[in-house]
């Protein structure tokens, strides 16, 4: 069957009242970017739905792309027909015949958004249903659990026929919720946290702490590869800020008692990320923390670490079990990269027994003997910012200017 358009349903976006136009524009932009390889398509968007007109482009490939776009609740490949019963019956027959397998059942579900149409929904259902029953040998009606559900939507401009409803990625359109910095390690959790934040419409920039020579180029490559996956989900590119963290870590090791180094390391990371956030004009920080997963993620730890900033810290995985996080990592195709064995800057100086219940007063006291601020500023100064695209070598933020 040759579908000539794909009908896209917005889902949650349609509850956004007066902001709706803004959301529809963002979604249209995401669809446009994802479908760049198909130059003949045309996008028509109205307040409550969107159509991609295929104009001869490959529907199957386009469906694959649409599945990954945030802000789409579901979509259906559809055929447009004139508002005239004979044409509707004929097109319905061709469509159902193209899908029908011996012994299958069907039902017709008509919907009228335009009540001026001559027939009501029951009458439409009966007319089309009767036409299919007389013209397809062996087909039967099953209104509860049909194999084929033919949807007939009567709208002002035309009638649309479709048989399939394909689930979309859900969430809100890309970049409709503002910008946040994602603290991206090479682990399993933080890329998943980034995915979940993007799904809610956040634009993200990744921040990675790197401690050469204790962490290798291979560890950096791993983070670049994870960022490529995130760039793909973002529908274009993302920025990755790589922070040289060795000097700060050495200072912590010299100044802070061993069982508090982990707490202090996290506090310094957060301070630096917050500085980068200010420069980049983001409004939040995202981490892959999950309550109780490791020593740094107890409530006491979070309380001690979070003290250094009052910027909102979003923790999309906070209440999730590791097995569920791994499941998502596998679905979004980051698991394999995260499982590569290279060391992370936090694993190289891991204390034998990190405090699981650190105290704010104590960590403040230990940090007060040394001025970390100049080292923090220096790290921020020396950040290397890369623009990451899914299928290209990363390049420095400034190389595009020349």
Structure tokens at 20: 């709706």
Answer yes or no whether residue 195 interacts with ligand ATP by CB under 6 A: no
What is the footprint of ligand ATP within residues 334-353 (CB under 6 A)?
344-346
The answer to whether residue 185 forms part of the interface with Mg ion (CB under 5 A) is yes
Q: Which is nearer to ligand ATP, 78 or 207 (CB)?
A: 207
Q: Binding ligand ATP by CB under 6 A: which of 163, 184, 363, 375? A: 184
187 touching Mg ion, by CB under 5 A: yes
Stretch that binds ligand ATP, among 14-22, 51-59, 184-192, 357-365 (CB under 6 A): 184-192
Q: How far is CA 345 from CA 187, 350, 386, in A?
A: 11, 9, 19
If the CB atoms of residues 47 and 340 are measured against Mg ion, the closer one turns out to be 340
Q: Which one of Mg ion, ligand ATP, none interacts with residue 190, CB within 5 to 8 A by kind?
A: ligand ATP
User: Annotation-wise, does 208 bind a ligand?
Assistant: yes
- Cα(168)–Cα(165) distance, rounded to whole angstroms? 9
Joined tokens for residue 76? 């259906």
What is the DSSP annotation of 321-371? -HHHHHHHHHHTT-HHHHTS----HHHHT--SS--SS--HHHHHHHHTTS-
Is 182 annotated as contributing to ligand binding? no
Cβ proximity to ligand ATP: between 79 and 223 the closer is 223
Does residue 170 bind Mg ion (CB under 5 A)?
A: no
Chain length of the chain: 402
Q: Exposed (0-12), middle (13-18) or buried (19+): which is 299, by Cβ within 10 Å?
A: exposed
Using CB under 5 A as the binding rule, whether residue 215 contacts Mg ion is answered as: no
CA–CA distance, 318 with 119 (Å, rounded to integer): 53
Cβ partners under 8 Å of residue 345, min gap 6: 209, 210, 211, 214, 215, 245, 249
CA–CA gap between residue 236 and residue 388 (Å, rounded): 9
Nearest distance, CB of residue 221 and ligand ATP, angstroms: 14
Q: Does 266 count as an annotated binding residue?
A: yes
Residue 267 C-beta: closest distance to ligand ATP, Å: 12
> Which residue positions form the known binding site for ATP?
183-184, 208-209, 266, 288, 297
Applying CB under 5 A, which residues contact Mg ion? Answer: 185, 187
Provide the annotated binding site. Answer: 183-184, 208-209, 266, 288, 297
* Chain residues in the site for ligand ATP (CB under 6 A): 183-185, 187-190, 207-209, 287-289, 293-294, 296-297, 344-346
């Amino acid at each position: 069957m040759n579908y000539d358009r794909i009908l896209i349903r917005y889902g949650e976006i349609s509850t956004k009242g007066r902001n709706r136009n803004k959301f529809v524009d963002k979604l249209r932009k995401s669809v446009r970017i994802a479908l760049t390889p198909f130059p003949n398509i045309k996008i028509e968007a109205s307040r409550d739905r969107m159509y991609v007109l295929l104009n001869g482009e490959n529907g199957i490939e386009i469906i694959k792309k649409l599945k990954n776009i945030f802000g789409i609740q579901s979509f259906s490949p559809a055929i447009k027909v004139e508002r005239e019963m004979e044409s509707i019956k004929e097109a319905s027959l061709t469509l159902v015949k193209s899908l029908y397998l011996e012994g299958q059942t069907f039902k017709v579900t008509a919907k009228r958004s335009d009540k001026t149409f001559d027939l009501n929904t029951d009458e439409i259902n009966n007319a089309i249903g009767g036409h299919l029953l007389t013209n397809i040998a062996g087909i039967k009606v099953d209104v509860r659990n049909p194999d084929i559900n033919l949807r007939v939507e009567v709208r002002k401009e035309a009638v649309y026929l479709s048989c399939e409803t394909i689930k979309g990625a859900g969430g809100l359109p890309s970049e409709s919720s503002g910008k946040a910095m994602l603290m991206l390690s090479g682990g399993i959790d933080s890329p998943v946290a980034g995915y979940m934040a993007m799904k809610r419409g956040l634009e993200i920039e990744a921040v990675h702490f790197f401690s050469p020579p204790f962490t290798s180029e291979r560890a950096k490559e791993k983070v670049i590869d994870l960022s490529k996956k995130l760039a793909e989900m973002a529908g274009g590119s993302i920025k990755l800020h790589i922070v040289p963290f060795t000097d700060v870590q050495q200072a912590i090791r010299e100044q802070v008692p061993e069982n508090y180094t982990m707490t202090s390391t996290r506090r310094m990371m957060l301070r630096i990320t917050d500085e980068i956030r200010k420069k980049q004009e983001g409004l939040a920080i995202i981490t892959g923390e999950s309550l109780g997963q490791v020593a740094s993620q107890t409530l006491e730890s979070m309380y001690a670490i979070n003290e250094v900033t009052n910027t909102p810290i979003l923790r999309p995985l906070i209440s999730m079990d590791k097995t569920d996080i791994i499941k998502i990592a596998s679905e979004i195709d980051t698991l394999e990269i995260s499982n590569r064995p290279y060391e992370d800057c936090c694993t190289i100086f891991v204390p034998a027994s990190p405090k699981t219940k650190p105290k704010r007063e104590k960590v403040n006291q230990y940090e007060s003997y040394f001025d970390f601020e100049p080292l923090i500023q220096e790290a921020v100064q020396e950040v290397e910012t890369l623009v990451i695209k899914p299928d290209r070598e990363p390049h420095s933020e400034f190389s595009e200017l020349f």
